[in-house]
Amino acid sequence: PIAISESDFKVVGERGVIYNTYSDETSCGVTPGSLDGVAAHNHPLIGAVCVQVPKSEAGFTLVYEQFAGSKPAVYIPLPQ
């Protein structure tokens, strides 16, 4: 099982700027249905992750990196 939280995610744009879910500039505040819980084999976890980014930014990659863990980060290219 893996504990997953909305704060484990961030988005990186083509400029290389990191936008996270918890800073004052990029947080969406309280996200309804935010991703928070434990994922395990055959027990999916569903939830929302929200990050604010500038309109001028593009080419996003979603990054999952456990805050307190030793697993490597997972990079997921997002569609345009």
Task: Break the chain into its structural domains and give their ranges.
Answer: 1-66
Top pLDDT among 1 and 26 is at: 26
Residue 5's nearest CA partner among 17, 26, 28, 21 is: 21
Q: pLDDT-derived band of residue 67, with 50, 70 and 90 as boundaries?
A: confident
- 17-66 pLDDT, tens digit each: 999 999 999 999 999 999 999 989 898 889 999 999 999 999 999 999 98
Q: pLDDT-derived band of residue 70, with 50, 70 and 90 as boundaries?
A: confident
* Rounded CA separation 58/23 (Å): 20
What pTM does this model have? 0.82
Question: Phi, psi at residue 64, to the nearest 5°?
Answer: -110, 120
| Side chain identity, residue 18 | I
